[in-house]
Structure 1
Amino acid sequence: MTKASSSIKSKALKTAIQLLLTVAALAIVLSKTDTERLTSLIRHAHPGYLLGSLLFFNISKIVNAVRLNRFFLAIGLRLSAWYNLKLYYLGMFYNLFLPGGIGGDGYKIYVLKKNHGLTVMNIFSAVFWDRVSGIFALIFLSALLIIPSSFAALYPGEMLWIWVIAGVSYPLSLLLTWLFYRQFMPVFIVTAFESLVIQATQVISAWFILMAMSATAHQIDYLAIFLISSVATILPLTVGGAGAREVTFFYALNHLGLDVNTGIALSLIFFAISAISSLVGILSKIRHEKSGENAEAVD
């Protein structure tokens, strides 16, 4: 067996596992929810609020692209804002629709190495630390939303640890940056702020979805679980996080005694907004392929 065929089989197996886990997770959740009410919530969602959700989701992604470009600049890679944004959206598309294959981050690393001559490790460090900085912001904001949520009433003794997690998130991020990725120290403060903006705008996007469904009660709980579910989607176990987010909503809302259907609807609509937004990336690539330009560069 050649190395290439072995790699193809490995990617195919990874894709099959991701699809299987996604289908299994969604099947478990949907079998235990009121699908008629779930469908009604989604079908009758207010389009104006959904447009607001779409807007803030894409604001978060544009800021994310800006943050990633800042990390690229720190390793000596100068990309135009427009080139970087199109590459970022194309990466989004690959993450959602090409599970188990090259993936969005892998595609960005491949294109930038091919077209700009940097080492894989240099580009990987920027892409990887962009992800890590987002995780710290996600954990920090998750902790801040858990504190005023219904979880605090259920687990008052554990709230001290939530405060500790919130308090150490950014000092730990700063320490790890200094220890392992010192080249990013000059941009630490601005990228840390951008990370908070990214997660905050995604929370606002989720809030718009709740408003679209007229879900005005327990919004802090739903938004706290939304952020926790985002942590659950970090590992690429399912396709674009689908399934993992719904399972988190299902068990967390059941635990709090809240309406599961609203949470699952929020999750499914958010995924749909992510998928629709990512189409910008592939449409841009198709347009450039038709015009005869370099399809890999998407510039």
Structure 2
Amino acid sequence: MIKKSVSKKKLVRTVIQILISCVALSIVLIKTDTEKLLEIIGTANPLYLMLAFVVFNISKILNALRLNRFFRAIGLHLRELYNLQLYYLGMFYNMFLPGGIGGDGYKIYILQKNHSIKMVNVFNAVLWDRVAGVFALAFLTAVFLIPSGFAKLYTEYVPATYAVIALSYPLSWLLTRLLYKQFNSIFLITAGESILIQAAQALSAWLILLALSVPSNHIDYLAIFLVSTVAVVLPITVGGAGAREITFFYLLQPLGLDTNSGVALSLIFFAIGALSALIGMFLQGRAGEKHEKGKKNYEARV
């Protein structure tokens, strides 16, 4: 009975996520010149797109390395390749199985099951890895907003933006000291890795701008890209579909910039993320019997 109730809630959540994604994408596509949008995407430089794909996956490899650092801090020592396989599997589940087998939940279950470590410790490592990423995202977003057109358009918010820059990492350090002391020793290196990860994502977006031959205002597009990434972090859409596009559409308008280029950037970035997540499907066959047995047990439980 409980299992049916949980499954029903997950189904409802999945349906809501799909609806929100569809509504957001519909709003954008209805208000966008789709013919021009398709033309912009169709004439994109494939070399820059390939570089964007490579840089995006470098950011994911860095993310997997950072996560493994958190695992080692709780006494869980994984081979880097094995950890990378799990990471890409998690990406695949998050992207293509919304509301079902969550990528983070799957990793937590597999590691607890196969390595005899307390689930709460694995959960803490995965959670704080995510939190580290959020603080880096907030910091870098604020850094990009300062030189962007938004700083001139909304001068009253500039002091708050500087406050985010100044307080992001002191607050992150304080929370680590108070809540997760086991991660104190790796705070500095994971903080640096987090900045590199978000910077690599921004670099991937910039390469897409070059592919689309966007002539100017790259800082503005990248600032909106980082703001849209904050929107994508919220689990309200399927793999972030719709959240990034609608953010670009409405934030580019006050700056008087081409919304078609922004929406094209967001759609291509989503496609790169989806293609990268598919790597997890191929790695699943190489991850060995532990993954398969763990997956079946996890599916049975959720």
Place the TM-score, normalised by the shorter chain, in its bin: over 0.9
Which residue does 1:49 correspond to in 2? 48
Which residue does 1:238 correspond to in 2? 237
Pairs within 5 Å for 1:46-85: 46-85=45-84
Superposed CA RMSD in Å reads 1.3
Q: d(CA) in 2 for partners of 1:30 and 1:10?
A: 30
Which residue does 1:101 correspond to in 2? 100
| Segment of structure 1 superposing worse, 9-18 or 218-227 | 9-18
Q: Deviations over 1:229-255 (max 9, x none)?
A: 000111100001111111111110012
Which residue does 1:262 correspond to in 2? 261
Q: Deviations over 1:50-74 (max 9, x none)?
A: 0110011001000000000000000
Matched, 1:40 2:17: no
Report the 3-state secondary structure (helix = DSSP H, G, I; strand = E; otherwise coil) of the residue aligned with 1:295.
helix
Report the 3-state secondary structure (helix = DSSP H, G, I; strand = E; otherwise coil) of the residue aligned with 1:79.
coil
Which residue does 1:29 correspond to in 2? 28
Q: d(CA) in 2 for partners of 1:102 and 1:257?
A: 41
Q: Alpha-carbon deviation of 1:118?
A: 1.4
Matched, 1:295 2:295: no
Q: Alpha-carbon deviation of 1:9?
A: 1.1
Report the 3-state secondary structure (helix = DSSP H, G, I; strand = E; otherwise coil) of the residue aligned with 1:186.
helix
Amino acid at match of 2:274: A
TM-score of the pair, normalised by structure 2: 0.95
Report the 3-state secondary structure (helix = DSSP H, G, I; strand = E; otherwise coil) of the residue aligned with 2:292.
coil
Which residue does 1:120 correspond to in 2? 119
Amino acid at match of 2:240: G
Pairs within 5 Å for 1:107-256: 107-256=106-255
Alpha carbons of structure 1 residues 213 and 89: separation in structure 2 relative to 1, 3 Å: same
Q: d(CA) in 2 for partners of 1:29 and 1:256?
A: 17
Alpha carbons of structure 1 residues 20 and 208: separation in structure 2 relative to 1, 3 Å: same
Amino acid at match of 1:204: L
Q: d(CA) in 1 for partners of 2:154 and 2:287?
A: 54
Amino acid at match of 1:63: L
Q: Alpha-carbon deviation of 1:216?
A: 2.5
Amino acid at match of 2:136: A
Amino acid at match of 1:196: I
Q: Deviations over 1:181-204 (max 9, x none)?
A: 111000000000000000000000
Amino acid at match of 1:171: P
Q: Deviations over 1:239-277 (max 9, x none)?
A: 011111111111100121111011100000000000101
Matched, 1:281 2:276: no
Which residue does 1:91 correspond to in 2? 90
Alpha carbons of structure 1 residues 20 and 282: separation in structure 2 relative to 1, 3 Å: same
Q: Alpha-carbon deviation of 1:279?
A: 1.0
Q: d(CA) in 2 for partners of 1:52 and 1:294?
A: 31
Q: d(CA) in 1 for partners of 2:34 and 2:19?
A: 21
Alpha carbons of structure 1 residues 215 and 172: separation in structure 2 relative to 1, 3 Å: same
Q: Is the contact between residue 60 and residue 197 of structure 2 (CA under 8 Å) also seen in structure 1?
A: yes
% identical aligned pairs? 57
Alpha carbons of structure 1 residues 120 and 67: separation in structure 2 relative to 1, 3 Å: same
Alpha carbons of structure 1 residues 297 and 5: separation in structure 2 relative to 1, 3 Å: closer
| Segment of structure 1 superposing worse, 115-124 or 22-31 | 115-124
Q: Deviations over 1:200-240 (max 9, x none)?
A: 00000000000000012110000000000000111100001
Q: d(CA) in 2 for partners of 1:113 and 1:296?
A: 13
Q: d(CA) in 1 for partners of 2:51 and 2:291?
A: 34
Report the 3-state secondary structure (helix = DSSP H, G, I; strand = E; otherwise coil) of the residue aligned with 1:241.
coil
| Segment of structure 1 superposing worse, 100-109 or 134-143 | 100-109
